[in-house]
Structure 1
Amino acid sequence: MTRIAVLGNGRVGGSLATALTRAGHEVTVADRAPGAAAHAARTARIVINATPGAGSLDRLAALRGELRDKILVDVSNATVDGPDGLPADLLYPGSSLAEQLQEALPDTRVVKTLNTMLFPVMTAPAILTQAPDAYLSGDDPQAKETVRELLVSLGWRSEWITDLGGIRSARATEAAILFVPHVIRASGFTPFAISIAR
């Protein structure tokens, strides 16, 4: 059992919190109440950023003290949305939200993952007809191994999880979000993951 704080209680955060609790972890969800995020982060071993990516950097940088020596699992994508509310461009072109977070939080071990799929797949990868991929980006190998174990507890098979290397590799997976609106317009809001065929 791991003590986990989920920052963000929308569809992504709520789904992750429910699935992680079901997997036997001790989960706290931080709502928008003053001080809730700080308290949740302070008492957790792993903190999951499921806040809207456009505001994540400011929100988490304010928690620098509470996030010291923690693993921060970043599942968000920082985008500029188009008129239809779907991602139209990247907020940090030439970089990534994960890199920005790692720079702002040097005493926190940031790991990027689960950001290349629609949210139902995050907690139920077996719902897809083909094996999906989840990617890990981060500078700390031990933190990535811990996150890999967390994904396995959510139903991800180890061979579906690919370590892409350092935190800089997150800019590649974050850029993949630009596929999403086109796939949704073409096929509807059907669960999918951006995976590598082998």
Structure 2
Amino acid sequence: MTTIAVLGNGRVGGNLATALTRAGHEVTVADRAPGATAAAARTAQIVINATPGASSLDRLVALREELRDKILVDVSNATVDGPDGLPADLIYRGSSLAEQLQEALPDTRVVKTLNTMLYAVMTAPAALTQPPTAFLSGQDPQAKQVARGLLEDLGWHQEWITDLGGIETARAAEAAILFVPHVIRSSGFAPFAISIAR
């Protein structure tokens, strides 16, 4: 059992918290109250960032001490929304939220994953008609191995997980969010994920 703090209690955070609790982990979901967020991060072994990507950097930098020596699993995308509320552009062009977090939090081991799919797929990948792909980006091999274990607990098969390499590879995974509005407009709001076919 691992102690996990999920920062963000929306659809993504709530979905992950429920599934990880069901898998046997001790999970705390932190709301927006600064004290609650800091306390949850301080006592957790792993922190999952499921806060809105546009404000994630400021929120997490404020938790620098609480996140020291922790694994931070970042599942958010930092985007500028269009008039319809769907992602229209990336905030960190030529970079990524994960890279910005790693640079701002050098004593935290950041791993990017689960950001290339609609939230329902994060905890039910086998529900799709073909295997999806979950990508891992991060500097620390051990942290990525821990994240891989969490993915397995969420129903991801090993062969569905692709380690892209260092944290700089997160910019490619984060750019995949720009597919989302076009797919939704074309096919409706049904669960889907980016998949590498071999």
Structure 2 stretches of 5 or more lacking a match? none
- Whichever residue aligns with residue 116 of structure 1, its letter is T
Tell me the residue number matched to 2:80. Answer: 80
Tell me the residue number matched to 1:154. Answer: 154
Tell me the residue number matched to 2:13. Answer: 13
- Rounded Cα–Cα distance in structure 2 between residues aligned with 1:138 and 1:34: 27
1:64 to partner: Cα distance: 0.2
Mapped pair 1:99 → 2:125: no
Tell me the residue number matched to 1:59. Answer: 59
Q: How many residues align?
A: 198
Q: Secondary structure at the match of 1:47?
A: strand
Tell me the residue number matched to 2:184. Answer: 184
Tell me the residue number matched to 1:142. Answer: 142
TM-score, L = length of structure 1 = 0.99
TM-score, L = length of structure 2 = 0.99
Identity %: 85
- Rounded Cα–Cα distance in structure 2 between residues aligned with 1:97 and 1:175: 11
Structure 1 stretches of 5 or more lacking a match? none
1:32 to partner: Cα distance: 1.5
1:197 to partner: Cα distance: 1.0
1:34 to partner: Cα distance: 3.4
Q: Secondary structure at the match of 1:189?
A: coil
- Whichever residue aligns with residue 154 of structure 2, its letter is L
Q: Secondary structure at the match of 1:35?
A: helix
1:33 to partner: Cα distance: 2.2
1:145 to partner: Cα distance: 0.3
Q: Secondary structure at the match of 2:34?
A: coil
- Rounded Cα–Cα distance in structure 1 between residues aligned with 2:3 and 2:165: 26
